[in-house]
Amino acid sequence: MKKILLVEDNAMILDNLSEILELEGYQTVLAKNGTEGLALTKTEKPGLILSDIDMPLMNGYEMLHEIRKDPEIHEIPIIFLSVKNHGQELLHGLQHGANAYICKPFGLNELLETVEEYFNK
């Protein structure tokens, strides 16, 4: 089964994303901040990470940086999900190692197509 780590501090969004992805046949692992996300990345070794950027304790950029410098997990694709949708923010995420960036609010088809694209690479 294809495993996705969801990192999001908004419990309602986290639960909704998990439910949607599980209905599509994915296994989800949930983290409510970057610190939990980093720890779960190391133990669960997901095939993909979907992460918010603005979170307590460790934000998405900090988590991304830590993942990219760890040789055991550095190749896991990371897709940011964020309301920060202006060009500078998108560019910043991609320049620092994110594989893609989906702006909130996003459509279900956009999310599922992007997720499947990374599992088919």
Each residue of 44-99: pLDDT tens digit? Answer: 999 999 999 989 899 999 999 999 999 999 999 999 987 765 556 666 666 777 89
pLDDT of residue 64: 95
pLDDT digits (tens, 9 = 90+) for 5-57: 999 999 999 999 999 999 999 999 999 999 999 999 999 999 999 999 989 89
pLDDT of residue 112: 93
Q: Answer with the residue of higher pLDDT: 106 or 19.
A: 19
pLDDT of residue 89: 63
Residues sharing a CB contact under 8 Å with residue 26, sequence separation 6 or more, in sequence order: 1, 2, 3, 4, 115
Q: Helix, strand or coil for residue 67?
A: helix
Task: State phi, psi for 45 to the nearest 5 degrees.
Answer: 45, 65
